[in-house]
């Protein structure tokens, strides 16, 4: 019984051998989750070979903006009657 298909990795998805820390630009292994130089969490590599910042930072900033917008909206609602 012969195997119908071989599992060949997609060449376009593995163009980078290393990624760079977005904070200190140290070269890191592709699978690293933490920068060994500055200790910041790093995400997956992007098209530029730079590690993306982890999504929780973006989510935290978005939550802060949402709370701030809500507070401003409430203030505007109460003080402009």
- DSSP assignment letter at 22: T
42: closest CA among 77, 13, 18?
18
Residue 42 contacts residue 34 (beta carbons within 8 Å): yes
Which of the ranges 18-26, 43-51, 53-61, 68-76 carries the binding residues for Zn ion, by CB under 5 A?
A: 18-26
Among 23, 32, 41, 43, binds Zn ion (CB under 5 A): 23
The residue to which tokens 């699978």 are assigned: 31
Site residues (CB under 5 A) for Zn ion, limited to 26-45: 26, 35, 37-38
Chain positions contacting Zn ion, by CB under 5 A: 21, 23-24, 26, 35, 37-38
């Amino acid at each position: 019984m012969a195997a119908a298909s071989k599992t060949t990795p997609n060449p376009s998805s593995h163009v980078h051998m290393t990624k760079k820390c977005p904070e200190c630009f140290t070269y890191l292994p592709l699978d690293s989750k933490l920068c060994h130089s500055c200790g910041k969490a790093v995400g997956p590599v992007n098209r530029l070979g730079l590690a993306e910042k982890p999504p929780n930072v973006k989510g935290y900033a978005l939550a802060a903006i949402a709370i701030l917008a809500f507070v401003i909206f409430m203030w505007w609602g109460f003080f402009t009657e």
